Chains A and B, each alone.
Chain A
């Protein structure tokens, strides 16, 4: 039916359609509107054209505001920074170095190490040995060019108990035993749906990072996700039924992991154009062999969502920022308080987290019972219509939600794909 106007949902919230601004050149020349300096100007949508240093001031400030605002990173924190060769990760690393040494900004007092999670094989269907070598070499060269930063490498397929390798010992890394990893690849490719593969890898990667952080004695992990990734993650989580934990997917801190390691998103407020202009301004390059995450494939919830957002952003310039704004208003539980709780007796339903994804389990839901009821009634067919009394129906609805294990609705959906089961021990 025509849903316009339901619940007064009038489309009176102005949605900015892409104006001429959007398509104008991001680089031009002239006088900076802020400091008057003549020369190359950087033009962002919704901002006046500005010179290089005013632009850098602006983006670095954004970064510092994100990291500093929540006071979540204490002085002298040990931070593990994820580097994957992408433009975003190059920018994140550079901003961190600037913030640590910079004079323009209040110095950021933290110590950081870098981790490379080699996902080349899982990302590229056909492994081209030559390309792979170039990829590793490039990563190594980039890292070794700065002797002050310790850098480690691990493989996405490796056992979380396995220590990462120092990038200087890349030969040892290359000579490692591959039996388990090959097993992982086979099982991974056996997961039937692309949605579940992506969902699984996302959870697995997070846990792997948390283990690596533990090995390297870091309590914090910085990941290079920017606003468009977060908008896509947010919407995917909604589509996957993960509404109750979505606040942790969009915020700066994700503290749901059991070992207390916090995943953080320090450049969550940067946009694609900002990242690209930053690279230009600082004369940086992303790793050549890093192939852009395969353009949202149409066979998974996550892929469809990603391309939906990218397309919408092209036509409506405020798409991503509006989604993020919605996300920022969503409340979430502070896990730190829950983890610190030692008296197990007092644990009520709201403090039990999912064994797989570590999100808090949600309480009873009429919608979930309706889903279960559908399955139930499909199996009973004509036998279900007349005889069931009201009480029987109400009883059924509570019966269907009796939990056998501490696994959330979405992870249960994922586990319907039987091929994921062998992984569960790993996670």
Chain B
């Protein structure tokens, strides 16, 4: 006998919600899913009427569902938001070029304008070329640092009030675990925040899908027949993060509430006063948000341009030594050239 929808609507259930284990029909699942995101936006005061919001769009399931649902809720509840899609082209052949086609499809389907910014135009380097230089060991570091700043640059260009990103509950729980495993209390302290960086010269980032389970995002996209790009990045992700992700999946299997429980735990953590908090400022070189001088993006870029790609990886003192050594070598070579030219 078919199971009836838990919401008592009279229809048969077609799915079991991963988050609550309730059996629901398609329509009641849509309603519940959408109501939750709306609830998150309202109860956290994520947006104000008349604001311009950039949706960080990668073409993947999270950002596709985010763009779709923000458009839907904006119309339904009259948020009065001016939405725009912002995509970053990292220059990864076989991955980003294909996924950008998906974003263009989203632009047409949801009637939201799209802006694409490329690493090539911002930094003069594509990820393909960076990987050529540095190999596959630290490539995700480069990509992550550059993307973070690229979004800020794009947001400034578009003059938006905030950037909405597609981070879901699983992503946040995973980051809590990662930061514990890495002993990074500064990031542990702020990685659960639904809104970050809303200072004077920084553009706020918000996570409307903070309480949405990855499995439900996939389910929602599936039943809504949304078009998204599902290939993983061709450059293998960091192994350590992979462990944390697999661990979380194992935990979720025995207790689905674990994702929310981890986020809750992360929010409850308070740190001893002696633990130093990084100061957030802006980079003296490029002017974008950074907790160090110059910012990570500028150091990595300098490393690439100097042909010292390891410059920004590891300790600062090591980087300083590498720089000094190269400067010395360059000076020597120059002197050698001078000698040669004398003849």
Contact = CB atoms under 8 A, between A and B. Distances in A.
B63 A1 contact: yes
B226 to A, nearest CB: 15
Nearest to A391: B42
A148 interface: no
A282 interface: no
Interface string B114-144: 0000000000000000000000000011011
B42 A393 contact: yes
Interface of A: 1-15, 193-195, 234-235, 237-244, 246, 298-301, 304-305, 308, 312, 316, 319, 322-323, 325-326, 329-332, 362, 365-371, 373-375, 377-386, 388, 390, 393-394, 396-397, 409-410, 413
A322 B22 CA distance: 39
Interface of B: 5-9, 17, 19-20, 22, 24-25, 27-28, 30-32, 34-36, 38-40, 42-44, 58, 60, 62-63, 76, 140-141, 143-148, 165-167, 171, 174-185, 187-188, 190-191, 194, 196, 211, 233, 237-238, 240-241, 243, 247, 250-251, 254-255, 257-258, 260-273, 275, 290-291, 296, 312-314
Contacts of B63: 1
Contacts of B32: 374, 377-378, 380-381, 384
A373 B36 contact: yes
21 contacts: A1-B58, A1-B63, A1-B165, A4-B144, A4-B241, A6-B171, A7-B187, A9-B187, A10-B296, A11-B240, A12-B141, A15-B182, A193-B254, A246-B269, A304-B247, A308-B247, A312-B181, A330-B270, A377-B36, A378-B28, A386-B76
Contacts of B180: 234-235, 238, 323, 326
B251 A239 contact: yes
Nearest to A241: B261
B36 A370 contact: yes
Nearest to B38: A393
A240 B261 contact: yes
Nearest to B188: A326
Given A9-B187, A301-B254, A322 B182 contact: yes
B261 A378 contact: no
Contacts of A15: 182, 240
B144 A382 contact: no
A318 to B, nearest CB: 9
B7 to A, nearest CB: 3
A385 B32 CA distance: 7
B59 to A, nearest CB: 10
B175 A3 contact: yes
A49 B196 CA distance: 48
Given A326-B185, A370-B40, A375-B20, A331 B272 contact: yes
B36 A2 contact: no
A92 to B, nearest CB: 27
A241 B264 contact: yes
Contacts of A240: 258, 261, 265
Contacts of A195: 254-255
A11 B257 CA distance: 28
Q: Is the interface of B mostly helix, strand, loop or mixed?
A: helix
Return the 7 tightest CB-CB contacts between A and B, nearest first.
A5-B144, A381-B7, A243-B265, A381-B28, A241-B261, A243-B268, A244-B268
Nearest to A332: B270
Given A9-B187, A316-B240, A393-B42, A243 B264 contact: yes
A298 B250 contact: yes
A243 B269 contact: yes
Contacts of A239: 251, 258, 261-262, 265
Contact of B58 (A2, A194, A242): A2
A407 to B, nearest CB: 15
Nearest to B139: A4
Given A8-B296, A374-B36, A322 B7 contact: no
A242 B265 contact: yes
A10 B145 contact: yes
Contact of B148 (A8, A11, A386): A8
A381 B25 contact: yes
A413 B58 contact: no
Contacts of A379: 6-8, 22
Given A8-B145, A379-B6, A238 B272 contact: no
Contact of B167 (A6, A312, A370): A6
B282 to A, nearest CB: 13
Contact of B264 (A4, A14, A304, A365): A365
A243 B266 CA distance: 6
A13 B240 CA distance: 11
B66 to A, nearest CB: 9
B146 to A, nearest CB: 8
Name which of A13, A396, A410 has the most chain B CB atoms within 10 A of its CB.
A13
Nearest to A307: B250
Given A11-B141, A13-B183, A370-B43, 6 more contacts: A1-B167, A8-B148, A14-B314, A241-B262, A377-B39, A397-B43
Contacts of A394: 42-43
B31 A12 contact: no
B144 A385 contact: no
B40 to A, nearest CB: 7
Nearest to A234: B180
A388 B77 CA distance: 10
A13 B184 contact: yes
Contacts of B38: 393
Contact of A378 (B22, B233, B238): B22
Contacts of A371: 257, 260
